Structure 1
Amino acid sequence: MTRHIAVGNGQLLVNIDSNSYIRDIYYPYVGQYNHVGGQMCRFGIWVDGQFSWLDNPSWRKESRYADSTLVAVTEATHDGLGIRLVIYDGVHQRDPILLRSIEVVNEWNNEREVRLFFHQDLSIGESEVGDTAAFLPENGSLFHYKRNFYFMFNGWGGDSGIAQYSIGIKRFGGAQGTWVDAEDGHLMGNPISQGSVDSTAGLTVLVPGNSTERASYWMAVGRSLQDVKLLDQYVRDNRPEKLLRRVAVYWEGWATKVKRDFGGMSERAIRLFRHSLLTIRTQTDARGAITAANDSDILQYNRDHYSYVWPRDGAMIALAMSDAGYPELVEPFFVFCAEGLSPEGYLHHKYNPDGTVGSSWHPFLADGVPQLPIQIDETGLVLHAFWKLYEKHGDIAFAQSLYKPLVVRAGKFLMNYVDTETGLPSPCYDLWEERHGIYTYSVSAVHAGLTAASNFCRLFGNEERADRFQQAAEDMKASIVKHLWDEEEGRFIRGLYRSGGQWVKDMTLESSIYGIAAFGVLPTTDPRVNSTMNAIAQGLLVRTPVGGIARYYNDYYFQRTGNLHEAPGNPWIICTLWVADWKIESATTLGELQTASQTIEWVADHALRTGMLPEQLDPFSGSPLSVTPLTWSHATYVATCVKYMNKHRELTAAQGANQADQAPLYSKG
């Protein structure tokens, strides 16, 4: 389940696989709707009477992004055909247009006719029912539509546009689709079809021997036929290759707008840092939704996807982007959360990108007892991230606009959602959405949320309410130390769960216990934090050549081995970086900081060639597992790099000051 290429602009997101096949088209929201749904929009060529789709094993392919841009470059070489393709893909930085420019390189001596075939397999509005595909003679395009979704496809090869086309039925009544029609190099030309339909377009270029010719293909998306016709005309007037150069210039400026001292990070790690910023941008909707992932192949496993807004993920991503200097990107997320807050003041399990409540597996009733189907950390972390945004960037007017609708309402809920027996938050689902109880990460997030609410109240002059929130946070800290610290083990525990009418300690070693330090319950220098983190760093270490840190001991999700000493779970990017964060915070010398630097380099080593980071890795092969890219993985990498850069600057300054203090007052001479 891997999307090697993701290109987008906050309203249109297109995912492309390693074969240069379009696999997902999301519009008008990032993550909603998916008008392809993981099907393959194929790309192939015909030359000298031979045909080949790009997923044929005879092609050697390598993809990457142009440095610090959202323009992807794929080189595909077929020695048997004597053809090399250099494919540039990007989405216009402003308009919903996918641009593709192809350099067709003839590696033989004789002139050759090369036909390029582009297949469109759409399920508009996430259903194949009632789609229409048609040829429009006035501009030589193919367009698909249903209701108020329109997709127009066009191209240019040599001195002309689409040279041939076919429209027909797919995956119904024995029909595979029009892509089969392309395999003899000729398309039938049917001008319209309805229902479960697809289309294929053909371009022709004549390429002299040992020479290169260019072809172009583009897709315009809109709400009406007039919308997409205007966008199509814009592309034809400006040419896709010129527009792609503008796209590259724009995103390079965006990714490098903050001047940084990277503290000795490798060029590879720096490239991944900038690419992570850009990847997060592709997964963030202009209206505030920050989606977890948009790799639709996960549908194979559980018939649902990651194209949702988990407030937890969104909060941590927003915090990372704020720290990296991009507050304008994430401010709409907090508006999104304020609008999605329940009447009681909590955030739901997850949301669709349009702000409606998403699907859930958390029940309202368990063992005959009603319960809230929530994860309390999600509400707490949104307040925590919102305060950190204000603290760093100081936009008091924006903070004021959400003070009552978000801060006060959510703060009141956190303060009152307390288990009277323990003084900790009432039981809910943990951050991994797997178990119900009281968990250290969640409790730490609530403490951070209450502290943030208190800080906002004090900022706006409500001292009485600020004191109440602060007292609630202090009471919760005392309960954390009382109930979640285990003296015998010498570390904090994962949490508590109810069994036989009693609270039982969950002693499973769990990486997210790092929340104790990450969310300010205790400082990193506290010996209890250090003993806990040492236990995590040793007990969850993956002892294979791949390395990394597991999510928790005996993690079952995509589990690859029962040898828990070798691999207590699969290495997760996020969890490995949490240990690095602890090492950064704990470092007192530049030498100590190097261990964290090694983890940053480890992540860069395990990114795809295109710079994409998965949720987790196979502990033996190092290949991606689960969805790729995972937005939270990229955000955690960004956050860790920023922490590293800040600490490196601090320690370098301290070292310089120390050397100055030790210098002699007078020198001979």
Structure 2
Amino acid sequence: MIKQPNVILGNDELLVTMGRKGDILGLFYPRRDHAQHVEESLACIHTGEKLLWTNDNDWHSIQNYIEDTNIVSTKLYHDSGLRISILDLVHPEVPVLIRRFKVQSQQKMSGKFFYYSNLNEGETSKKNSGFCDSEAHLLAQYWQNYYIGIYALPEFTEWQIGKAMDTIWWTNSKYDMEDGKLQLNKEDIGNINNAAGWDLELEADGANEFVIFIGAASSRSLLYKRMHELSKMPLEHIFEKTREHWVMWLSKKHVLKMPGLEGHNNLRQELFNAYNRALLMLYLLNDREYGSFVAAPEFDSNFEKCGGYGFCWNRDTSEVVLALKHSGYPDYCDRFFKWCIQTQLPAGSWFQRYWLNGDIATSWGNFDYSTQIDETGSTLHAMDVYYRILEGLKKVEFLEEVWVSVLRAAEYLMKRTKSGLHESCMDLWETYYGVFTYTNASIYAGLMGASHLAEENGESGMARRWKKRAEFIKQATIDRFWLQEGYFAKGIINEKLDKTLDASVLGAYIPFGM
């Protein structure tokens, strides 16, 4: 099932994706790419007559980030006069999502507030175990060393641990809420779901508040300790601590220069806001341990409409870490290039994409003809760009660290470009096999970068050889792909020149400068 997130939030261990009405679509722990533990997780209200799910079409929503943070505000409005304000934040130090629900009604109402979750611990619906510890007031579900717990203030008064299956519908927590009362089953195994419930008594324009803590841990004892300690802290303190964390991280950035836009204050503010939001998002996509970046939190895990985005591509991450370096965050380059050294293949190339820990990921690029050669060209180019920015000892140490990788990658590119154009491979869109302007440009930039690094390392012979091949590739690309209409053809597909005006040809100019 394809899920379409509208916002993401998290910390170094936890990444959460949500829909525009505050329903949780993904909860990734302990990495950005694995494991995703949530099938469904959202609130609903029983009015005394029927169950209102907060992701139904009957609710109108307004959702936004609190300025300069990864804290999310969602406001829901129902035609019946019900209103729900949701404040979502992830504690900056521990993998716990904190959700404050403020429920209001224009008229007096007596009903129930429910919080429902269908969890797939370890990305499996099989062999899970769930329980309600009524003394600790905690719902928990686990599989191997993945534990997810749900705690709340005020403490829930009803619960159900049930089977998320229609064949045993009478235990299913989702159906159990429909009559406004939960069965209080305390544990179950297999494909399970859970629900917690509270009485909801609203005067006209009155309000009830419920705070839901959803935490992750590698053991039961650690889960209990985290939830217990957090529940003792005032929410206002946690909110301010989280807000300060994001504001302080943003304060490290370089000032965004916008020459030529003097007097265009509204446009300048829009660009400034987009710059801040991009930096905050990139923080959430980075794996702090390994230095790699996920292209996006996975939203199509069954690969129904695409090949998925919950992986690390060298091509994408090379541009990301350089952008962060230019924005005032140099550490990302250091850690990513160390990751590149570890993930380079024996032939000298880099694979199509990786899991964040460096393992080879699910791919349709397992052969020479289906690999993406631009991944290797992009990585070499980025190494050289970064080297040129460095100064003093850091410059010397970086070249010493990456030189063997540079040598191996450059020789791989030499092997694949003997005719001046690269051998057949897959394009950057992962759609066609052939020979492409973009890929040739990336190889050109990679070999030019390798040539510069070789010269700096005292290897003038290698430098001349690699530069000569880069210039040969540039000329061959111009001769074969430049059109009289004034642009580069996309490439050669099925032995025919594809003159499609494709966005990828911009790579010949930016970032590869061919």
1:495 matched to 2:495: no
Superposition pairs of residues 10-409 of structure 1, within 5 angstroms:
10-36=12-38, 39-48=39-48, 50-80=50-80, 82-108=81-107, 115-157=112-154, 161-171=155-165, 173-175=167-169, 177-204=172-199, 206-207=201-202, 209-258=204-253, 259-262=255-258, 263=261, 264=264, 265-286=267-288, 287-297=290-300, 299=302, 301-302=304-305, 304-362=307-365, 364=367, 371-394=368-391, 395-396=394-395, 399-400=398-399, 402-409=401-408
The alignment's TM-score, normalised by the length of structure 2, stands at 0.90
Counterpart of 1:506, as a letter, is: D
CA distance in 1, matches of 2:70, 2:506: 33
CA 1:372–1:337 in structure 2 vs 1: closer, same or farther (change >3 Å)?
Answer: farther
Query: How far did residue 106 of structure 1 move?
Result: 4.0
Q: Give the secondary structure class of the aligned counterpart of 1:491.
A: coil
Q: Give the secondary structure class of the aligned counterpart of 1:391.
A: helix
Aligned match of 1:605: none
CA distance in 2, matches of 1:239, 1:53: 28
Contact 1:41 1:120 in 2 (8 A): yes
CA distance in 2, matches of 1:330, 1:162: 46
Counterpart of 1:344, as a letter, is: A
Query: How far did residue 120 of structure 1 move?
Result: 1.5
Q: Give the secondary structure class of the aligned counterpart of 1:133.
A: strand
Q: Give the secondary structure class of the aligned counterpart of 1:280.
A: helix
Q: Give the secondary structure class of the aligned counterpart of 1:28.
A: coil
Contact 1:448 1:520 in 2 (8 A): yes
CA 1:400–1:207 in structure 2 vs 1: closer, same or farther (change >3 Å)?
Answer: farther
Counterpart of 2:384, as a letter, is: W
CA distance in 1, matches of 2:4, 2:387: 36
Q: What is the alpha-carbon root mean square deviation over aligned residues?
A: 2.4
Q: Give the secondary structure class of the aligned counterpart of 1:333.
A: helix
The alignment's TM-score, normalised by the length of structure 1, stands at 0.70
Counterpart of 1:168, as a letter, is: G
CA distance in 2, matches of 1:89, 1:346: 42
CA distance in 2, matches of 1:348, 1:78: 49
Query: How far did residue 62 of structure 1 move?
Result: 1.1
Aligned match of 2:466: 469
CA distance in 1, matches of 2:489, 2:201: 68
Q: Give the secondary structure class of the aligned counterpart of 2:119.
A: coil
Q: Give the secondary structure class of the aligned counterpart of 1:34.
A: coil
Match of 2:426 among 426, 429, 432: 429
Superposition pairs of residues 574-593 of structure 1, within 5 angstroms:
none
CA distance in 2, matches of 1:148, 1:194: 16
CA distance in 1, matches of 2:73, 2:220: 30
C-alpha distance after superposition, 1:63-115 (max 9, x if no partner) = 111111100100012241x332110112222221111112233434x5x5563
Aligned match of 2:7: 5
Contact 1:99 1:244 in 2 (8 A): no
CA distance in 2, matches of 1:459, 1:233: 56
Match of 1:514 among 496, 502, 506: 506
Query: How far did residue 249 of structure 1 move?
Result: 2.0
Identical pairs, percent: 25
CA distance in 1, matches of 2:185, 2:152: 18
Larger RCO: Structure 1 or Structure 2 (Cα < 8 Å, ≥ 6 residues apart)? 1
Counterpart of 1:13, as a letter, is: L
C-alpha distance after superposition, 1:370-406 (max 9, x if no partner) = x353111111111222322333354436624641353
Give unmatched runs, 5+ long, in structure 2. Answer: none
CA distance in 1, matches of 2:396, 2:178: 61
Query: How far did residue 182 of structure 1 move?
Result: 1.6
Contact 2:4 2:299 in 1 (8 A): no
CA distance in 1, matches of 2:123, 2:397: 36
- 442-451 or 268-277, which deviates more: 268-277
Query: How far did residue 272 of structure 1 move?
Result: 2.4
Query: How far did residue 474 of structure 1 move?
Result: 2.3
C-alpha distance after superposition, 1:579-622 (max 9, x if no partner) = xxxxxxxxxxxxxxxxxxxxxxxxxxxxxxxxxxxxxxxxxxxx
Q: Give the secondary structure class of the aligned counterpart of 2:41.
A: coil
CA distance in 2, matches of 1:178, 1:298: 25
Query: How far did residue 48 of structure 1 move?
Result: 5.0
Q: Give the secondary structure class of the aligned counterpart of 2:357.
A: coil
Query: How far did residue 200 of structure 1 move?
Result: 0.7
CA distance in 2, matches of 1:302, 1:152: 32
Query: How far did residue 50 of structure 1 move?
Result: 4.6
CA distance in 1, matches of 2:390, 2:83: 49
